[in-house]
Amino acid sequence: MVLYRLEAQSWRGSGALVLGTMVRLSTAFFAIAATAQEPPPPSGPGPSDVPSHVSASRPASHVPASPANYRSSLSEVPAGELAAYLKANDVQRVPFDSTLATIRTCLRRSEDAIQPCLESRDQACETDTSQCTHAAEDAWQLYIARYLRLLHTALPAETSAASQKAWTAYVDAECEFETAPYPDDPPMRHNVDSSCRAGKAQDRALELRAILIDAES
């Protein structure tokens, strides 16, 4: 009888040990399973990691174009605008194309180098003065038209239109004044008028370009 009690107590002790071990194993299994189901932490930067000058709602690569890049873009004329201008205006292509290429090259330079570059272009005219000045006026009128279109996005259309109308009237009056001393010399009068209009067109285009740069900055 004593032996029976000892065996029963031994069995109950072994059973409790086994049951405790099974409970601990079950708890560990569920803890591992729960950890495996948790989503991994995000690998990208959080809102605090984004630079203060970049909006967290857009990629950091979306930054404004630099002023230098914008100034460089103002030296270019899209092919569609050039084709439309050539279709609407009777230009002499040989001097016009070379003059346009030279102006584009000058406008790509730094601000303090543009004017000297343009002055050297005037001195390097390879044809007669009349052809050079006509080509220069046509090329600058192309830039004027382009810059006015760009200004329509920054200024009211009626403002730029009124300014351009007043400028055109000023050029007509000023060039008429400059040709007045040559009433009996048609060739000289023609050359003076062409030079006057080319110079005024250059000044106007550079003025509009400066306004665009100021509006962008």
| Range among 57-71, 90-104, 136-150 with highest mean pLDDT value | 136-150
The Cα–Cα gap between 174 and 179 comes to 9
How many degrees, rounded to 5, is the angle at CA 217 between CA 107 and CA 152?
75
Residue 26 confidence (pLDDT): 45
Average pLDDT over residues 10-26: 44
CA angle in degrees (0–180, nearest 5) for 29-30-34:
120
Domain 67-216 CATH assignment equals 1.20.1270.180: yes
What is the residue-wise DSSP string for 127-189? S-HHHHHHHHHHHHHHHHHHHHHHHTTTS-HHHHHHHHHHHHHHHHHHHHHHHTT-TT-HHHH
For range 6-33, the mean pLDDT: 43
Q: What is the pLDDT of residues 166-179, one digit of tens each?
A: 999 999 999 999 99
Domain ranges of the chain: 1-36, 67-216
C-alpha–C-alpha distance, residues 26 and 183, integer Å: 113
The upper half-sphere exposure of residue 25, i.e. CA atoms within 13 Å in the direction of its Cβ, equals 6
| pLDDT attached to residue 20 | 46
pLDDT of res. 124: 60
| Residues whose CB falls within 8 Å of the CB of residue 193, separated by 6 or more in sequence, listed in order | 175, 178, 179
Worst-scoring range by mean pLDDT, 26-30, 84-88, 133-137, 141-145? 26-30
Question: Is residue 102 within 8 Å of residue 75, measured between CB atoms?
Answer: no
**Which of 28-37, 38-47, 70-79, 117-126 holds the top average pLDDT?**
70-79
Q: What percent of the chain has pLDDT over 70?
A: 66
Task: Give the model's pLDDT for residue 29.
Answer: 41
Q: Would you place residue 142 in the very low, low, confident or very high pLDDT band (cuts 50, 70, 90)?
A: very high
Residue 127: the pLDDT is: 58
Whether 178 contacts 199, CB under 8 Å: no
**How confident is the model at residue 146, as a pLDDT?**
96
- DSSP H helices, 74-128, are 79-88, 93-107, 111-123
Confidence at residue 76, expressed as pLDDT on a 0 to 100 scale:
94
Say if residue 164's pLDDT is above 90. yes
